[in-house]
Amino acid sequence: MKIVVLDGHAANPGDLDWTPLAALGELTVHERTPASLTLVRAAGAQALLTNKVLLGAQELAVLPELRYIGVLATGYNVIDVAAARERGIVVTNVPAYSTPSVAQQVFALLLELTRGTGRHAGLVREGRWSSAPDFCFWEGPQVELAGLTFGIVGFGAIGQAVARIARAFGMRVLVQTRRPDPTAWPEVTFVDRDALFMQADVVSLHCPLTEETKGMVNAATLAAMKSGAYLINTGRGPLVDEAALAAALHVGRIAGAGLDVLSQEPPAADNPLLTAPNCVITPHIAWATRAARQRLLDTAAANVRAFVEGHPQNRVG
C-alpha cells in the first residue's frame, strides 16, 4: 500500500519517528504541500494523511486509487467527508490526544494575564528591578485565582480537564454545555451561556466550531462580561469576533484575553488583536508538546493498521 503524508512537519518536525507508519506500506512524507502540488503528490496513493491540506470533492474525484484518509488532528473539516463516503473512502481522525497539553496551555495563558511572569522576567532583564527603589516591583495588577469564577463553554474531554485544574486552583466552576450532567459533576454548576458570560471572572472556550458558535464572542457578549474578566480561547479562532474583542480590549471593557488560535493562521499583519492591549497570543501551540504529538502519531499509525486489518477505528466518515 502506498501511503503519503502530505504535511507532516507540524506533527513531527524531526523529533519523532515515522517508523510505525512506514511498517504498514510504502511511505512518503512531505513536510508541507501547497495546494498546487496536492494532486501530484497524492496520485497513486491508497492512503493519505493530512493535517491542514484540503481534500475536497474535486480532489477526491481525480484520485481513483484512494481508499483511506487519516487526519492528523481531531478536527476534520479539511476533508469533504460526504464526498469521501460516496466514493467508499474511509476517513479517520485522532481524538483526545492533546487533552492534557491544551488544558495546561489554558492556565499558562491565564497565569500570564493575571501574574505577568514572562512580562516581569523581561522587565528584570531590562534592568528595571536593579533600578527599583524597593526590594520588589510590579507593573499591572497581580490577581489571585482562588475564589474567582471560571466559566467553561463546552464540556468535552478538554473542558472537563480544565474544570479539574480550575478546581485545584480553588476556583468556582460554571459550565455551559448541551448535555449537562449534575450527577456526574456535582462540583460544578451548569448554567446557560448568557449567565456564564455575565458571572464568570474567566471565560474559556472549548466548544466545537459550528454555525451556532461562530462569532459567539462578539460585542454583545463582551459587553455582558465583567470589566475585570478574562477571555481564554484555545478552541477555534472563529469562535471570536476579533474586531469586537480588539475594540473591547482597547477601551478596557474586559481585563484581558489569552488566545492560542486566530481566525486566520498565520494571522494577517493587520489583525487588530496583534496590537490590542492586555492580549497574550501564542502561535497555536497548545497541542504541540512532544508527548501530545507522540500520542498523535501513535494513534495515526494505529488507525492505518486497523484499516488494513479490516476494522477501521476512529472513523468519522
Active-site annotation, residues: 236, 265, 284
Of all helices (H) and strands (E), which one includes residue 174? Answer: strand 172-176
Torsion sign, CA atoms 117, 121, 124, 126: negative
CA distance 128 to 175: 41
Q: Give the rounded distance of the alpha carbon of 182 from its chain centre.
A: 26
Of all helices (H) and strands (E), which one includes residue 292? Answer: helix 290-308
Q: Is the backbone of residue 228 left (phi > 0), alpha (psi -120 to 50) or beta?
A: alpha
Q: Return the amino acid letter for 262.
A: L
CA distance 32 to 81: 22
**Edge-to-edge strands, sheet with 68-71:** 26-29, 2-5, 47-50, 68-71, 90-92
Gyration radius of the chain's alpha carbons? 22
Residue with grid cell 516591583, as numbered in its chain: 137
| DSSP 8-class letter at 128 | T
Count of residues making up the chain: 317
| DSSP 8-class letter at 266 | S
What separation, in Å, do the N-terminal and C-terminal C-alpha atoms of the chain show? 20
